A and B are shown apart, each in its own frame.
Chain A
């Protein structure tokens, strides 16, 4: 069943190349991703067995799978409306690439073999490059080139890390395999220096993909130039997948009894990401680049959560869901605003709430949500995270995180309020809200709101299971 989940988007991608009608091709996206979402949920609640030595689901991957699938479904629905108004660019490349991207993400999430996981993550890089290039202008070429080169080199280093882990098995005299369960079972006999080196390279490699500072340099460019829906998928989906890949390394280190070292490194990188994002978000004139730095910030928070451990890990897992959905809503709303003003710079965007009553309001609500204001979901997850930090007696880290969050709130607030409030200069906007283009961000923000007031019991259990997986000691 899991194999089907990976393969059928590829089949639909092939069909989409053969379909001659523009609208039909666009509608293949939501149709395919609805099926994907349905199957993912069924798999996640254990309707079908999903264990195997090559691909299988555990608590962590179930979580990421459902989140990415949900996000993709929303973006696919949005894509129908988006591609309809972008008939000049066509959808012959966009639709198949999105579907291949979905397939690669699913494979990366469900892979139980580190080599297979690497292959799938690299496939996500390649299949998302044409998506970033969608607008075909000088800026999008530059963004695509940086993305492709930096991420490919980063991922190559992750391969080196994976090979080092295999070498650790060779040096430790345990069976040489990159199958995750075998590795975890024999983790204590792995040769330490190679395991440590392997983890560091894994972190650098997949950290590049995830956008942890200082490896985030491609992120503002790619998110800034890609269409809103691609930004949403990268910021919400791909980053979660890359984070999962890093978590596999953390799992391995913890199982080998060196979890503390892994957590220290993650904590350091997370704090650095948070600080750097806070600096760059102050006076950021470009709404999409601002969202990209916000993504760096939230990746930092995820790393800090896992780095602290204990209840903070639970907070990080919850934050992964909240971040994915909120970023999805924000990027889609930002895409609509950019369309209405033909600019993404606050020097030209004024009064977005008047021009686009729904998208503008969603953008503002999304800002409130992502910056951790109650009653939205990220408030709960950030609160849990902070409680975990202070609970583990790391006062300095906690104060630093609070300070950065405050700076981010002020910096992001200045830009967002400037864009949404006030009176628009043009009276006749180029674009008005239409249902297909505001339905998905609306649902994302509503879901985030729901998660802020009520976390269903099964989800809570799933989050606890996922967090527990990261704490399995030798």
Chain B
């Protein structure tokens, strides 16, 4: 219990870091670290079973290494370093993040969880991470930060998935991780094209299509 709780606390802290930082490289590294920490969660929860170890290896290599590498490569090519002028400022997003985290903890108390899950931080941490991902998706203009938001959303869902790993056979878990990897790969290509066409990766430039 102690190990999983400290892991999940670290995950929560990383949420705040990404919400408050303007430096894209640091944000990508932090989301990578979050993925790597989450990779420790299955063995910490279920012990050193084959399934848990496989899941840990998959999450570490995909969430912790491959995907961040793809994103770092994408921003190296487009030479963008900072998120400027977010739609909502960094301090307000952090405050919103704090509020949603507090809300997640309160809300998790009302959920009809089974008794083993009442104690741990799993559910509130998962909810808070998902909310933080949503906040990044909504408040940032850079395409790359929106991808980071999507990844944090997936990380939050992953925490819930760990609780239910018996429902998801290995083949499905592997497929889900592979989908995520290929999805981010395609997003990276599109970001590259956006940059080539518009000379920026600010998504507010993507507004020609409307009624």
Residue numbers in B under 8 Å from A115 (CB-CB) = 167-169, 172, 175-176
CB <8 Å contact, B208 and A156: no
CB <8 Å contact, B114 and A148: no
Given contacts A166-B164, A170-B164, A176-B166, contact A191 B183 (CB under 8 A): no
A118: interface (CB < 8 Å): yes
Select one of A119, A133, A145, A171 contacting B175, CB under 8 A: A119
Residue numbers in A under 8 Å from B70 (CB-CB) = none
CB <8 Å contact, A149 and B150: yes
Q: Mark A218-250, 1 if CB is under 8 A from B, else 0.
A: 001100110000000000000000000000000
From B15-23, B56-64, B155-163, give the one contacting chain A. B155-163
Q: Mark A130-142, 1 if CB is under 8 A from B, else 0.
A: 1001001111011
Select one of B112, B208, B211 contacting A138, CB under 8 A: B208
CB closest chain-A residue, reference B201 = A145
B146: interface (CB < 8 Å): yes
Select one of B114, B157, B193, B207 contacting A159, CB under 8 A: B157
CB <8 Å contact, A221 and B209: yes
Q: Please give the number of chain B residues whose Cβ is less than 8 angstroms from any Cβ of chain A in the complex.
A: 41
Residue numbers in A under 8 Å from B207 (CB-CB) = 142
From A64-72, A121-129, A252-260, A388-396, give the one contacting chain B. A121-129
A177: interface (CB < 8 Å): yes
Residue numbers in B under 8 Å from A159 (CB-CB) = 157, 161, 176
A272: interface (CB < 8 Å): no
Select one of B137, B183, B186, B206 contacting A141, CB under 8 A: B206
Residue numbers in B under 8 Å from A133 (CB-CB) = 190, 193
CB <8 Å contact, B179 and A156: no
Cα distance A284–B113 in the bound complex, in angstroms: 49
B75 to chain A, nearest CB (A): 16
Cα distance A116–B178 in the bound complex, in angstroms: 12
B69: interface (CB < 8 Å): no
CB <8 Å contact, B209 and A142: yes
Residue numbers in A under 8 Å from B130 (CB-CB) = 160
CB <8 Å contact, B193 and A122: no
CB <8 Å contact, A145 and B194: yes
Residue numbers in A under 8 Å from B91 (CB-CB) = none
CB <8 Å contact, A193 and B112: yes
A194: interface (CB < 8 Å): yes
A273: interface (CB < 8 Å): no
Cα distance A320–B74 in the bound complex, in angstroms: 41
CB closest chain-A residue, reference B176 = A119
A331 to chain B, nearest CB (A): 18
Residue numbers in B under 8 Å from A177 (CB-CB) = 166-167
A338 to chain B, nearest CB (A): 16
Residue numbers in A under 8 Å from B169 (CB-CB) = 113, 115
CB <8 Å contact, B168 and A146: no
Cα distance A224–B176 in the bound complex, in angstroms: 30
A143: interface (CB < 8 Å): yes
CB closest chain-B residue, reference A279 = B211
CB <8 Å contact, A149 and B160: no
Residue numbers in B under 8 Å from A170 (CB-CB) = 114, 164, 167
CB <8 Å contact, A191 and B112: yes
Cα distance A153–B146 in the bound complex, in angstroms: 10
Given contacts A118-B176, A119-B172, contact A142 B183 (CB under 8 A): no
B172 to chain A, nearest CB (A): 4
CB closest chain-B residue, reference A121 = B179
Which residues of B178-211 have CB atoms within 8 Å of chain A's CB atoms? 179, 182-183, 186-187, 190, 193-194, 197-198, 203, 206-209, 211
B83: interface (CB < 8 Å): no
Given contacts A123-B179, A171-B114, contact A176 B167 (CB under 8 A): yes
CB <8 Å contact, A153 and B183: no
Residue numbers in A under 8 Å from B197 (CB-CB) = 137-138, 141
Residue numbers in A under 8 Å from B171 (CB-CB) = 116
Given contacts A116-B172, A138-B198, A139-B209, contact A148 B163 (CB under 8 A): no
Residue numbers in B under 8 Å from A116 (CB-CB) = 171-172, 175
Residue numbers in B under 8 Å from A144 (CB-CB) = 190
Cα distance A285–B179 in the bound complex, in angstroms: 37
Cα distance A194–B112 in the bound complex, in angstroms: 8
A376: interface (CB < 8 Å): no
Residue numbers in A under 8 Å from B147 (CB-CB) = 149
CB <8 Å contact, B137 and A153: yes
Residue numbers in A under 8 Å from B168 (CB-CB) = 115, 166, 178
Residue numbers in B under 8 Å from A166 (CB-CB) = 164, 167-168
Which residues of A331-352 have CB atoms within 8 Å of chain B's CB atoms? none
Q: Name B's A-contacting residues (CB within 8 A).
A: 111-114, 130, 137, 143, 146-147, 150, 153-154, 157, 160-161, 163-164, 166-169, 171-172, 175-176, 179, 182-183, 186-187, 190, 193-194, 197-198, 203, 206-209, 211
Instruction: Name 22 interchain pairs, CB-CB below 8 A, sorted by A.
Output: A115-B167, A116-B171, A116-B175, A126-B179, A126-B182, A129-B190, A138-B198, A139-B209, A141-B194, A142-B206, A148-B183, A149-B147, A160-B130, A163-B157, A163-B160, A163-B167, A166-B168, A170-B114, A176-B167, A177-B166, A220-B211, A221-B209
For the complex of A and B, list the 8 residue pairs with the smallest distance between their C-beta atoms, beginning with the closest: A115-B172, A166-B167, A119-B175, A142-B206, A221-B209, A122-B179, A166-B164, A176-B167
